[in-house]
Amino acid sequence: MAKISNEYPLSIPPDALSLSILKRAPLKPDARLLSTRTPSFRNPALFTPFVCSNKAHIQALNLLEISSDRPLGMYTLKTVRHPTSDIPSPLLVLITESNSHYFGKCAEGTQRSLNEKGIKPSRMKNFFMTGVLDWNAIGGLPGLLLTLGDSGKANLTINYGSKILNYIVATWRGFVYRQGVDISINAMNDGDVLVEKYFLVKQVHTFPNQASHLNTHTSPPLDTHNSTLTKVIAKMFPKEGLAGAISDPSSNIPYINTDLPEAANTTHASNYILQFHQTRGKFSVERATELNIPRGPLYAKLARGESIEVDGKVILPDQVLLSPRKFQRVLVLDVPSSAYLESTMQNPAWQAPINAESDDKVGLVYHFLGEDVDLVGNEAYFRFLSLFGENCQHIISHPRYCPNTLNFKTAALSLLKLRSLQKDFFQLPLHQNVPERELSQLGAKARALHAHQDVVVSPEGFTIDSTQVHRNETNWSDLYDSTVTPLGISVHDKAAVIDEARLDSDTGDVTDVKNEVQIITLGTGSALPSRTRNVISTLVRIPQPVSLPVTRDQLVYKSMLLDAGEHTLGSLIRNYGDDLPNYLAELQLIYLSHLHADHHLGIMSIIKRWFLACPEGFLYLVCPWSYEKFVKEWSYLEPAVDFQRIKYISCQDFFDMGGPSQRRSAEFVSIPFESLLDHTLKNLDTHIPLPNVTAIGELYQAFGLASIAMCKAIHCKWAYSITLHFKDPDFKLSYSGDTRPNIHFAKVGRGSDLLLHEATLEDALIEDALSKKHSTIAEAIYTAHLMQVKKLVLTHFSQRYPELPDLTATEKSFAYLRGYLNDPEFAANPKPIRRNNPRNIFSFDLGTLSPSLEGMDYLYAFDNMFIKYGRIHEQKAVADKLPLAFADEEEEIDGEGSFGEKPAEGNSRQKKMTKQEKQEKKLQKQREKTETMRRERQEKEWVKKRKVN
pLDDT tens digits, residue range 464-488? Answer: 999 999 999 999 999 999 999 999 9
Beta strand segments in 162-312, E = 182-187, 193-195, 199-206, 269-276, 308-310
What's the distance, Cα to Cα, between the start and end of the chain in Å?
A: 70
- Span 447-457, average pLDDT: 96
- Is pLDDT of 146 > 80? yes
Angle between helices 603-613 and 627-635 (to 10 degrees): 60
The DSSP call for residue 483 is: I
Q: Is the pLDDT of residue 406 over 60?
A: yes
Kindly give the residue spans of alpha helices, DSSP state H, lying in 763-867. 766-772, 777-787, 810-822, 824-827, 831-835
Three-state SS at 733: strand
Q: Which of 314, 344, 75, 65 is nearest to 205 (CA)?
A: 344
206 contacts: CB under 8 Å, gap ≥ 6: 268, 269, 271, 335, 340, 343, 344, 347
Residue 517 contacts residue 541 (beta carbons within 8 Å): yes
Burial 890-925 (b: 16+ CB within 10 A, else e): bbbbbbeeeeeeebeeeeeebeeeebeebbeebbee
Instruction: Evaluate if residue 675 carries a pLDDT over 60.
Output: yes
- Domains of the chain and CATH, by start: 75-211+219-277+325-401+436-467 (3.60.15.10), 285-319 (no CATH), 478-482+490-659+687-826+836-890 (3.60.15.10)
Over 90: is that where the pLDDT of 91 sits? yes
Cα–Cα distance between 47 and 14 in angstroms, integer?
A: 8
Q: Report pLDDT digits (tens) over 861-880.
A: 999 999 999 999 999 999 88
The residues near 487 (Cβ < 8 Å, ≥ 6 apart) are 417, 884, 885, 887
Task: Round to whole Å and give the CA distance between 886 and 416.
Answer: 12
d(CA 152, CA 132): 30
Radius of gyration, alpha carbons of the chain: 31
CB-based contacts of 21, cutoff 8 Å, min separation 6: 57, 60, 61, 63
Point out the least confidently predicted range of 492-496, 640-644, 765-769, 922-926.
Answer: 922-926
Q: Report pLDDT for 853.
A: 54
At 22, the pLDDT band (50, 70, 90 cuts) reads very low
Tell me the one-letter amino acid at 144: L
DSSP letter string over 107-153? -TTHHHHHHHHT--GGGEEEEEE-B---HHHHTTHHHHHHHHHHTT-
* Mean pLDDT calculated for residue range 564-586: 96
The most confident of 679-683, 814-818, 900-904, 926-930, by mean pLDDT = 814-818
Rounded-to-integer distance, Cα 697 and Cα 795, Å: 30
CA distance 88 to 99: 26
CA atoms within 13 A on the CB side of 877: 8
pLDDT band at 269 (very low <50, low <70, confident <90, very high): very high
| HEC sequence for 771-786 | HHCCCEHHHHHHHHHH
CB atoms within 10 A of CB 441: 12
User: How far is the C-alpha of 793 from the C-alpha of 782, rounded, in Å?
Assistant: 13
Q: Provide the greatest CA pair distance for the chain.
A: 106
How much is the mean pLDDT over the chain?
Answer: 82
Cα dihedral value 791, 796, 799, 800, nearest 10: -60
pTM (predicted TM-score): 0.84
The span from the CA of 618 to the CA of 610, in Å, is 10
Which comes out higher in pLDDT, residue 349 or 915?
A: 349
Please give the average per-residue pLDDT across 41-54, as a whole number: 33
**Region 489-498: what's the mean pLDDT?**
96
Residues near 694 by Cβ (< 8 Å), separated by ≥ 6? none
Q: Inform me whether the pLDDT recorded for 98 exceeds 50.
A: yes
Kindly state the average pLDDT of the residues 202-209: 96
The pLDDT tens digits for 219-263 are 445 677 888 999 999 999 988 766 555 567 777 788 888 999 999
Q: Give pLDDT tens digits for 802-829.
A: 556 666 656 778 888 888 887 766 655 6
